[in-house]
Structure 1
Amino acid sequence: MNRSQSEYCNVGTKTYLTNHPAKKFVFDFMRVLIIDNLCLTPASKQTPLIDLLLEASPERSTRTQQKEFQTHILDSVMDHLLAADVLLGEDASLPITSGGSYQVLVNNVFYFTQRVVDKLWQGMFNKESKLLVDFIIQLIAQSKRRSQGLSLDAVYHCLNRTILYQFSRPHKTVPQQVALLDSLRVLTVNRNLILGPGNHD
């Protein structure tokens, strides 16, 4: 094992990142940066903050380390957004910062969702795809409660890509077949939302 691997790979644990006590605070800080940035209009031709953080990996890092790093960031932001009912506007526990707007918030949340789906397809989001389906369904439900005139094409596209990902996976083993059945169950339970007139994709 070379020096870079010995620094980051923790033998006997499930993590391939450092176990330094400051790790939690660093991840929390990055989550706060992303959340605070959601209400702000990105500058012209500026790379979105979420993309800068996702790709902020040392050159010596392994793909496994990058996957764990990116998954941790995306998963923590997803949890925070759902806990805050982010798309409920004034009823959300996530206040819109000064200089921001609800429409900008919606656009940025939908862009974040798109990036999570991208990472799922790239094999860099190491969580079950059904968690992402549930996340997107809850975002759509919040959006419909907040505003009937809001365009949901972008987030429906994310939902369709995630469902396509689920159905395109191998289904040869029993666990894979069980996962497929669970995906079909979710599709059936939410058929009015997924297959309804709002999904134009």
Structure 2
Amino acid sequence: MRVLLIEDDELIAHGILAGLRAHGLIADAVSTASQGASAIANLHCDIVILDLGLPDEDGASLLARIRARGFSVPVLVLSARDTVEDRVALLRAGADDYLLKPFDLGELIARLHALARRVGGRSVDLIVAGPLCLDPAGGEVTLDGKPVSLSRREFALLAALLHARGRVLSAAQLKDRLYDFSEEIESNALSVHIHHLRRKLGPGLVETVRGMGYRFGSAGL
């Protein structure tokens, strides 16, 4: 799961990013509404965490603007505004969830996974494809009931393929789900991760679609 954090407090942003990455999530952060709008328009992100007190525009205004432009990415709002009226107004403006500051990191992570389940049409975290089972929250994968050890990138790659539900993802789209924009990506990095997945889970797990990209190949399980 790739998360975009829009938060102008550097200390808070650093702490949230560290927590998200420690839980295996790919996370980026920007500090202004204009940067946030640009990132939402140009980068793939699965969920946006939005602080309301931004220096160039109120977060609620940014939320209304991105919804008016047709962006449906789930948005979790962070705010110290704790009245019922504030929460109702933000939910009506297009927020998918609301978390009051200060908050517990564990609750934030749980809410992110709950939003991902909702978007994916699942009632539980587990994603099952034949004998393969992936637990996004727990960061665990099993094959025929036996645990499989995957690196953080391999896990993110497998999750992206499973979430795509058979759709082809280009190499650029997959890299977008594996790396935040502060990281340098070696030219063969994606090929290496795909090779490792095939070795650990079966050669038919990742199907190459010539000239287009890759998709989950359930027939190889």
Greater length-normalized contact order (CA 8 Å, ≥ 6 residues apart) = 1
User: Quick check: which one's strand share is greater?
Assistant: 2
Q: Normalising to structure 1: TM-score of the pair? A: 0.29
The TM-score with structure 2 as length reference comes to 0.28
